[in-house]
Amino acid sequence: MIDLKEDDADAAIVDLNKSLRNSIDNQNQQALSHLKLAEIHMSARHYELAQGYYDSTSVLLAKDHPKYDEVMRLKENLTLLVQVPSTTNKFLKTQVSGTFQYNVTWSEDDNSAQNPYNVRADWARNDQRHRVNTSFSIRPPKAGSFSFTLTATSGRAYSITTGKDENFDQAINDRPDGVKRNSLRGPGSYVVNLNWCSPAINVRKKKAPVGETARGGAAVPAASNQDALIQSALSAGLPPAMIQQLLSSMASQPGAIAGGAASAASQPTLTRPQLTFTVSASNLLNNTRVNGYSGVITSPLFGRPTSYGAGRSITLSLSSRF
């Protein structure tokens, strides 16, 4: 993980975005970088940005990670808060948000030089020139949230070798005469990941009417939408001043609190748990991702792939809050 500079959020964001570009094939590093970006934006009170990064983290982070439950909780609470209705989304019921990054890289080096006495002769391009990283979320009404991540890169370079030590330097990386290092390039690759989280399902044995007395004799009060929103905001870690500002801005919009917090009914309890169903699909399209090719011209496997990325995997999970 990147060693972030203390009290320098801007530099940390730059470093983390660089980490995202350079760890395309490392899902664990991608998850940690998204998580750190989410925490930085959360601390800076950029709640919509934080929600987007927590959304991406929930797709990439391993289920056994110590912060997985916290990430899922913050994602759900922040999603509730950013879904508070405004004069804009009154007309646009489905919310779409996301990020897009395109990077062009030039890199040349002389690694794995064939002739240690003339390293300069093996100076060659060694990069994946084009990289695309994008993530976006779609939240249609009453259908949960869909989070997609797309990563695409251009092909990797590799060299043609003879598979022999013809110059007796105890290395079998010799190339045929006149053939430059990294003269071949494999095809590009891409991967699409999907995470779907259902709306919260409140499980209740019986819906008590407003004012009906419970077994203990006390009246059951009507659920306060405003109180539910405040509790969700506190669970998400928002400071009281920010919650007050949020409520003040909503108060200026008629019906905002009543309509926006309808989905945040009463908080779950032991007798009224809240269920959430999640589907996570890695490599959703199950496309082939080649990691390397054989460049040994004397091998029957010349030009064929030597390793592949993982195929599609689908994980179903059911979580309960009470």
Q: Is 138 found in the same domain as 46?
A: no
pLDDT the model gives residue 233: 67
Q: Is 134 found in the same domain as 76?
A: no
CA distance 110 to 172: 16
- For every residue of 175-222, DSSP letters joined together read --TTPPTT-EE---EEEEEEEEEPPPEE--S--PPTT-B-TTS-B-PP
Q: Is 79 found in the same domain as 92?
A: no
How many angstroms separate the Cα of 183 from the Cα of each of 159, 174, 179, 296, 297?
6, 13, 7, 13, 13
In this prediction the pTM is 0.52
CA-nearest of 84, 167, 180, 82 to 124 is 180
Q: Is 21 found in the same domain as 4?
A: yes
CA distance 75 to 47: 10
Q: Is 71 found in the same domain as 106?
A: no
Q: Is 138 found in the same domain as 2?
A: no
pLDDT by residue, tens only, the chain of 322 residues: 444 544 577 888 888 888 887 777 788 888 898 899 888 888 887 877 888 888 888 888 888 888 888 888 888 777 766 665 443 444 447 778 888 888 888 888 887 777 777 788 888 888 888 889 898 888 887 788 888 999 999 888 888 888 888 877 777 878 888 888 888 888 888 999 998 988 888 876 555 454 444 444 444 343 455 666 666 666 666 666 666 666 666 555 545 444 444 444 456 777 778 888 899 999 999 988 888 888 888 888 888 888 888 889 999 988 887 7
- For every residue of 17-41, DSSP letters joined together read HHHHHH-TT-HHHHHHHHHHHHHHH
Domain range holding 40? 1-84
CA distance 67 to 71: 6
Q: Is 93 found in the same domain as 77?
A: no
pLDDT the model gives residue 290: 84
